[in-house]
Chains A and B, each alone.
Chain A
Amino acid sequence: MARTFTEGSKAVAETVKLCRPNVIAAYPITPQTHISEELAQMVANGELKAEYVTVESEFAAASVVLGASATGARTYTATSSQGLLLMTEVLFNISGMRLPVVMTCANRAVSSPINIWNDQQDSISVRDAGWVQLYAEDIQEASDLHLQAFRIAEHPEVLLPVMVCMDGFILTHAYEPVDLIEQKEADAFLPPYQPQYYLTPKNPITFGAMMGPESYMEARCQLDRALWGSARIVEEVAKEFKKRFGRFQGALVDTYCIEGAEIVLVAMGSVISTIKEAIDLLRKEGVKVGLLKVRCFRPFPREAIKEALVGAREVLAIDRAFSPGSGGVLATEIRAALQDVKKAPEIKGHIVGLGGREISVETIINIVKDRKAVGREDRFVDLKEALLK
């Protein structure tokens, strides 16, 4: 293991290289670009022996990795925002065919208005595509998650695509000290992909068959079961990762200062670090506040969330994306998870940091302090009233 001071995108690219993907297809989009550029350079330098397919769109990128994965290759792609939305049709197809593609989503806001900065509207909008979705708190976790992602995706009981979500710019373009794994250690953790079914004349099979009303529903149900079942593997892989590399940033969820906490903040992604800082300050003032970090958003870890929140009096959900006409997505799902809990905590939703709007420690502290003023409706935090007129 070697500690280096490096950019988030570079750390991720280095880890993807360690995973020895056979085929990489990516189309440039801010803020994903540095990852795909780094990988292209590694291939150009001969450090990474992979086919790097320079596609003409994100739609093609997803289609290329679909075809390559069905042929038995380990495959990787990365995108953001509009690119992810352009891939949407293929995303559903990849999971439906149970192909273990791994993707990085460098989270970015969605147009219109066009905005290249960070929130999580892109990946949250494709939450129903049948992919495992994991959210990174910092660069180290983003990097480590990729090694774990391939293990999870290719697990014979899972065989599902995995999306590693990392906040655009905040994680992709920032520099932090990162512990990078040695190739030998990575190989021991992630053996070569051994597909059970793949396209080969040795065993000619049909992929992507049509299913009518007599069988379609069962295929969809199997996808659902596989996704629920992947939760166990996400946990298993995180634990094994900890054993081998000594790092653990949660499995399905993680907690911070949750013991005896009356108020629990729930969030995903890089805002977690900001919240931890706010909690340290609030605890000094005697506010009994803790944190639940949702690391795995799909499958949605209902039980782990229930367990973590059951003693709390108030839950403050921090959403970086929302469903217009409905509310914060995390808030909505937490409400659903807790609906059968007796004496369930009161859940308040907060939509923050859209399109790169800064989320400071003060933002979080104010959310905790102003909580009484918030009604049932999920609240947009730090709005500029003048611009709304």
Chain B
Amino acid sequence: MEKHLFLAGHTACYGCGEALGARLVVDAAGPNIITTDATGCLEVFSSRWPQSAWAVPFIHSLFENSAAVASGVEAALKAMGRQGEAKVIAQGGDGGTADIGLQCLSGMFERGHDILYVCYDNEAYMNTGVQRSGLTPYDSDTRTSPSGKVSWGNRYLKKDMPAIAAAHGVPYIATASVAYPKDVQSKVKKALSITGPKYVQVHVPCPLGWKSDPALTIKVAKLAVETGLYPIFEMENGVVTKVRKIPRPAKPVTEYLKLQGRFAHLFKKGGGEAEVKKIQQIADENIKKYGLLSEAAEKVAVEKE
């Protein structure tokens, strides 16, 4: 059996994208790391005493301070001449990263700590029962952005975290998806080879919150990328240096949306077509902005996992 550093036996839901994401990240990083984590699903399902899924040093403190705790870990290693001992990886969900933890993350970026920050983006507060976050997509139905007679769900666009990181001068920024495990791992390795703050945002489906089939986690994640809704790219020193091309023509967003109950209202209520059009427009803009379309369908390297 393959040896993992994020162990089996944790209590994540079936098809949890975040559990998969965390395992990919720590396995890629290797044993010589110290990890921090924000309060959230990952911490809850991996570290309930007296068990722990972490075969690497791990500290969970609070919801909003993963980046600040990691800053302290890194400063301590430096102060005690132990930098060679471990790389520091801070982790958090989308809420802990883009909302309540944004200030601590900004401080970590600004001060240039040698830390890789990984945001597991499942696009809502799942641990508290599916409420919207700053990374919840447009029109998504959550408990605090419900669809209703006069509502189509979440009214706001996803906060552009990579751009926020870039504005801090973060030398390496990447987005990734658990649909492409090798890509996640090579980005983690690349990030850890760079000194300074790094930001990697991994798209991790949540079958419970997205109301999708747990067996289809990878398929759903892949469709988010193939429709252009979740652009996968690398940004080095403020410039996009690499994008994951998607087959031409891009898949229509409906293929992605229809697999998830959080968008079901768009297909039930009259007027939903106009909303779907808006979402298609978001995808089209991403495709244009990042140049996501491949030259020809056959040129796309298909990652077989």
**A interface residue numbers (CB < 8 A to B):** 22-23, 25, 49-51, 53-57, 59-60, 63-73, 75, 89-90, 93, 97, 199-212, 215
Contacts and interface: CB of A to CB of B under 8 A. Distances in A.
17 contacts: A23-B76, A23-B79, A51-B79, A63-B62, A63-B68, A64-B69, A67-B69, A68-B76, A68-B79, A72-B76, A199-B59, A200-B82, A204-B54, A205-B57, A206-B60, A207-B59, A208-B59
Contact of A56 (B44, B64, B110): B110
Interface in B23-69: 31-34, 36, 43-44, 47-50, 52, 54-62, 64-65, 68-69
User: 5 closest Cβ contacts across the A-B interface?
Assistant: A67-B72, A63-B68, A67-B69, A71-B76, A73-B76
B34 A209 contact: no
A51 to B, nearest CB: 4
B73 interface: yes
A228 to B, nearest CB: 23
Contacts of A49: 79
B103 A210 contact: no
Contact of B111 (A53, A75, A209): A53
Contacts of B64: 59
Interface residues of B, number: 44
Contacts of A60: 65, 68, 71, 103-104, 107
B169 to A, nearest CB: 16
A5 B213 CA distance: 73
B12 interface: no
B65 A199 contact: no
Contacts of A64: 68-69, 71-72, 75
Contacts of B36: 67
Given A60-B103, A206-B52, A201 B72 contact: no
A51 B86 CA distance: 17
Interface string B244-281: 00000000000000000000000000000000000000
Contact of A71 (B34, B43, B110): B34
Contacts of B75: 23, 25, 51, 53, 64, 67-68, 73
A53 B71 contact: yes
Given A201-B32, A201-B34, A208-B47, A71 B61 contact: no
A22 B75 CA distance: 9
A55 B68 contact: yes
Contacts of A202: 85
A89 B62 contact: yes
Contacts of B32: 201
